[in-house]
Amino acid sequence: MTNRDIFQEPVQLLKALAHPVRMCIVVNLMKECRNVNQMKECLEIPQSTVSQQLAVLKTQGIVAGERRGNEVCYSLIDEKTKKIVKLLLGEFQIEL
């Protein structure tokens, strides 16, 4: 396996997860759909920071938003990401 191109997708996924705020967002979205305000309060960071990090996750196809009235509810849509996060955090003995 010397073709570097086959590693592009996994590397992009790992890059998207390689930020504490994004990892926390993903873990929280594994439990339930949440809007930006709920995530902001849970993470104790500004709404703009949550939105910036969600944009990275959306670009990578990890999360998606669904409009519900005036709010957008985000959920985790990538099953590979769920498996990787469970495996990774399990190795660090972090409960989900």
Select the CATH number that applies to the domain covering 8-91 from these four: 1.10.10.10, 3.10.20.600, 4.10.410.60, 3.40.50.20. Answer: 1.10.10.10
Please write the tens of the pLDDT for every residue from 7-18. 999 999 999 999
Buried b (16+ CB within 10 A) or exposed e, 8-35: eeeeebeebbeeebbbbbbbbbeeebbe
Distance of CA 88 to the CA centre of its chain: 14
C-alpha span between 17 and 67 (Å, rounded): 24
Check: CB of residue 50 under 8 Å from CB of residue 28: no
pLDDT of residue 90: 87
Give tens-digit pLDDT for 20-50: 999 999 999 998 999 999 999 888 999 999 9
Q: How is residue 45 annotated by DSSP?
A: S
Confidence (pTM): 0.88
Sorted by where each begins, the domain ranges of the chain are 8-91
pLDDT at 93: 84
Give residue 2's pLDDT: 64
